[in-house]
Amino acid sequence: MDLFLWELARASGLGAYAALCIATISGLAPRTATLAFLAQNRAVRALHDWSPWLIIPLVLTHVVALILDATARIGVLDVFVPFVTSYGRLAIGLGTISFDLLVVVLVTTWLRRRMSLAAWQLFHRLSYLGFVALFLHAILSGTDLTSPIIAALTWLAAAVVAYYSFERVRRSRPMPSAG
């Protein structure tokens, strides 16, 4: 049973990483024209709004499988409080931080209508920090990243997200006033 849970945790971890890449890129796309070749912004934004339905099951499967797997020795507290595991504190703690930030981003998105735009934007921009934490968690603790192909795909996805994040920042900077 533990072996099945271990396989499930590894697979859902990589699946969650892919889903979060989709969510991040589709979130950046309307301002950076990343996916303009594929679809109009309205469709891309619909994909971004729908992406939690992809992320939540995969992230929950990853977390629950690790809690149930006796070999991994991850407790319920370790899921919410970073750096308290008995081993791999930094690597697993970064995963905990990305999970906490994901919860914050999702909850504030659902409460968006009750918040000011500035407050919502502030919370939503935490997703960049969450993605960085997730990527470092994957690099430092991902068992499957010992495979060159999986590692290359992981780095490639992170590079795409990083490139379009910088592009997004560059485009949002105010234009210098003419004359």
Partner 1 sequence: MSRTLAPGIPVRETQEERNLNAEQRPVTTGEQRPAKPGPKSRKPTGRTPAWALKLGSALFAFAIFGGSFDYASQHLATANAPLQPTVVAVAASTEPTVTLSPTLSTTTRAPVTKTASS
Residue 15 within binding range of partner 1, rule CB under 8 A: yes
Q: How far is the CB of 115 from partner 1 (least distance, A)?
A: 13
Q: How far is CA 13 from CA 10, 45, 64, 145, 152, in A?
A: 5, 25, 11, 11, 16
Site string for partner 1, 80-119 (x = CB under 8 A): -------xx--xx------------------------xx-
The span from the CA of 72 to the CA of 168, in Å, is 38
Residue 60 within binding range of partner 1, rule CB under 8 A: no
Among positions 60, 73, 122, 152, the unique one binding partner 1 when judged by CB under 8 A: 73
Residue 30 within binding range of partner 1, rule CB under 8 A: yes
Residue 51 within binding range of partner 1, rule CB under 8 A: yes
Residue 28 within binding range of partner 1, rule CB under 8 A: no
56-90 burial, b at 16+ Cβ within 10 Å, e below that, comes to: eebbebbbebbbebeebebeeebbeebeebeeeee
Q: How far is the CB of 172 from partner 1 (least distance, A)?
A: 9
Among positions 14, 94, 97, 161, the unique one binding partner 1 when judged by CB under 8 A: 14
The span from the CA of 26 to the CA of 33, in Å, is 10
Give the type of residue at 147: S
User: Phi first, then psi: what are they for 123, rounded to 5°?
Assistant: -65, -40
The span from the CA of 22 to the CA of 19, in Å, is 5
Among positions 78, 108, 142, 165, the unique one binding partner 1 when judged by CB under 8 A: 142
Residues that bind partner 1 (CB under 8 A): 3, 6-8, 10-15, 17-19, 22, 26, 30-33, 35-47, 50-51, 54, 58, 71-73, 87-88, 91-92, 117-118, 121, 140-147, 150, 171, 177
